[in-house]
Amino acid sequence: MSELFTHVACCIDDSEASGLALAEARRLAGDDGRLSLVHVTQQPVLYPDPAGVLVPEPESVHEDARRWLDRQAAGVPSAEAVLLEGHVGTAVCVWAEQQRPDVIVAAAHRGLVDRILLGSFASFLARNSPVNVLLVRPDEILDAPSR
C-alpha cells in the first residue's frame, strides 16, 4: 500500500492517541515514503512571569515546541519535523495546500466536553483539508457508550 503514498503527514501532539496516529502514518509511508511530523503551537494570550505579572512569551513557547518536536522526529527514521504556529486546524490546512502530502493522518481523541470547550481539530481537518485525511481513533473512544 505504501506505493500509493509518497508523502504522508502526521499531526502529532503529546497524547497517547497521537502515538497511534504516528504508527499508522509510519505504516503508510513505508520504508521509501516521505514522512512529515506536523505540530502546531498556539500562542496563549498571557503567561505568568516569576514576579507574578502576566506577560506574553511567544519565543519560549516556540522554542519549547521545537525542542519537543525535534525529539519526536529523532525517534522516527527519516522523518522531517514541521513546526507551525497559529490556529491548529487552519495552520495544518494552509501547510497541506502548499506541501500537498498524499494523506494527513491525525488522531481523533477528544471527549464530548473537550470538543464542546475546545472544538474538534479532527472534524475541522476532515472538513477543510485540501488533501485526503485519515483519522485514527483509540479503542477506548470506540468502546465508550454513545451519548
pLDDT in tens, 47-87: 566 666 655 566 777 888 999 999 999 999 889 999 999 88
Which helix (H) or strand (E) covers residue 99, if one does?
helix 88-99
Place of cell 473537550: 114
Paired with 35 in beta bridges are 8, 79
Q: Which amino acid is at 6?
A: T
49 and 119 housed in the same domain = no
Q: Quick check: is 47 in a domain?
A: yes
Is the per-residue pLDDT at 147 higher than 80? Answer: no
137 and 70 housed in the same domain = no
26 and 45 housed in the same domain = no
98 and 130 housed in the same domain = yes
68 and 90 housed in the same domain = no
Place of cell 514576579: 51
- Please count the structural domains in the chain: 2
Which stretches does DSSP call E strand in the chain? 7-11, 34-41, 47-48, 54-55, 79-85, 103-107, 132-136
97 and 28 housed in the same domain = yes
Neighbours of 139 (CB within 10 A): 8
Q: Quick check: is 145 in a domain?
A: yes
Q: Which domain holds residue 60?
A: 41-78
| pTM listed for this prediction | 0.80
Helix axes 121-128, 88-99, angle to 10 degrees: 30
Q: Quick check: is 6 in a domain?
A: no
Please state the rounded mean pLDDT for residues 76-99. 94
Q: Quick check: is 97 in a domain?
A: yes
96 and 118 housed in the same domain = yes
Q: Quick check: is 9 in a domain?
A: no
